[in-house]
Structure formats: structure tokens, C-alpha cells
Amino acid sequence: MTDDEDLIARASRGEPAAFRTLYARHRADVARLIYRMLNGSADVDDVVQEVFVQVYKSLKDFRGQAKLSTWIHRVTVNVVLMHRRAARSRPTYSEELPPETTPDDRHVGPDEDADRRARVRAFSALVERLADKKRVVFILHDLEGVPPHEIAEIVGAPVLTVRTRLFYARRELETLIAGEPLLSHVRGTFSKAAGGEP
């Protein structure tokens, strides 16, 4: 029995300490994935909480058919997608900006950190424009480093479908990057360094 299996068994029996240990082990990964999937929305804290409540409730049904981390990723993705759907159905009165994006931030100084933050914000906004299925696969693979066969378990699709979604997500993003004025500097750098990019 692995350490995780032992903790799962004990947490399923209602041992608070075992659940706390599982939570402590996985919370940072979960928070990072949520942050990326919600594009840094202010709701990250609430969604982290919701994910672990769902993990707690469902732990007794976990049969070890996947790695615990994969299963927790799956719960996370489902909770985030539900959260996004719910958020879309709520009325909004103004355009919501990610927490770090304030009007002043748009006039950043010349330092590299500020440039990088601006690029990341612009890039995140483009990722946000991808359809849910492609966005999930892209974030899990290219940002979180999850291998395709695990993503297949997380999203409940064949590995080939996962790789196809990833292919189209990258192509679409590259097209979006090409049309994004805030990222012209990145394109320019590579055009000079590599003699142009398709």
C-alpha cells in the first residue's frame, strides 16, 4: 500500500488528520491549476475550497484506478468548468479585469519584469479565448506539464483526441498571437533572432 493509498483509506474513514495531510500535499498544485484556468480571477480562493470539499465528499468513491493527483486534477477541472459556466450566467455590469490588470499597469516602465508581466497578461487573455476543451488540454499540457495519457483520464477522452485538441489549441493561439499588438515585441524578437516565424 502506498503512502497516498493509506492516507486515502484513512481519510475515507473520516480521519481528519489524514485528509489534512492529503490537502497539504496537493493544495499548491490545485491552486496553480485553478489560477491558470481562471486567468487569475479573484475567485481562486473560493474554487480551491470547493475543489477540496468535492474531494472530501468523493474520496470514498476513489478506487485507485488513476493516480490520486490525476483524480484530483479531474475534480479540479470539473469544478472550474462549472464555476465558469455559473459565472457566465451571472449578470455583469462592467468588464472584469484580472486582479493584476489595473489601468496604471498598462503603462509599464521599461524594466524586464514589467514587460514580462504585460506579456503574460496579454497571453493569458488569448488563452482565455480558446474554447473550453482546447483550453483545458493546452493548460494541462503546455503549462502544467501533464502528459497526454493522464490528460486523457482527466478529461475523459482518448489520448488521440487530447493530442488533436492540443494541436489545434497551439495553432489557434499562434494565430491569435500574430494579431495581438501587445505581443508584437515577442514576434519581433523571434523574427530577428530566427529569421522569421511561420
Partner 1 sequence: MTDQDHDAPIGEQELESDRPGESLSRLLGDANASAGSEPDWEKIDEKLFSRIEQEQAARSKEQRGGKVLWVAFAGTLAAAAAALLFMKNVPVAPVAVDDAAHAGSFLSSRGATVQVGGAVAHEGQSFAAGDRLDARDGSPLFQQEGNAVFDLEKDSAVSVQHAASPLVLSLERGATEAQVTPVPNGEAFAVDIVGKDGAVARVAVHGTHLRVARAGDHVVVDLTEGVVSVGTPARRGSTYGSLVTAPAHVEFDIADLEHSLVVDHGSATVRAADALAPEVKTAAVSTHNASAPPPGVRHDEPARVDHVTATAAAVVTAPKLSNVDPTPAVIEPSPSAEQDLAAAVRACVSAIPHAPEVTVTISSTLSLKVGDDGFVQAARFDPPLPVDAQECAARSIYRKTRFVHGGDVSVPIVITR
Binding residues for partner 1, per CB under 8 A? 1, 6, 13-21, 23-25, 27, 31-32, 35-36, 40, 44-45, 48-49, 52-53, 56-57, 116-117, 119-120, 123-124, 129-134, 142-143, 160-161, 163-170, 172-174, 177-178, 183, 186-187, 189-190, 194, 197-198
Minimum CB distance to partner 1, residue 181 (Å): 14
List, in order, residues 6 or more apart from 96 with CB less than 8 Å away.
41
Copy the grid coordinates of residue 42. 479573484
Q: Which amino acid is at 127?
A: V
Nearer to partner 1, 11 or 93 (CB): 11
Report how far residue 116's alpha carbon sits from residue 112's, in angstroms, rounded to the nearest whole number. Answer: 6
Query: Nearer Cβ to partner 1, position 20 or 67?
Result: 20
d(CA 71, CA 154): 7
CB of 93 to partner 1, least distance (A): 25
Q: Which is nearer to partner 1, 21 or 70 (CB)?
A: 21
Among 124, 120, 125, 155, which residue's Cα sits nearest to residue 141? Answer: 155
Contact 118, 165 (CB under 8 A): no
CB of 104 to partner 1, least distance (A): 18
Q: How far does Cα 102 stand from its chain's mean position?
A: 22
Name the 3-class secondary structure at 138: helix
Q: Which is nearer to partner 1, 15 or 67 (CB)?
A: 15
Could you count the other beta carbons within 10 Å of the beta carbon of residue 172? Answer: 18
Q: Is 58 or 93 the residue whose CB approaches partner 1 more closely?
A: 58
Q: How far is the CB of 39 from partner 1 (least distance, A)?
A: 10
Tell me how far, at minimum, the Cβ of 164 lies from partner 1, in Å: 5
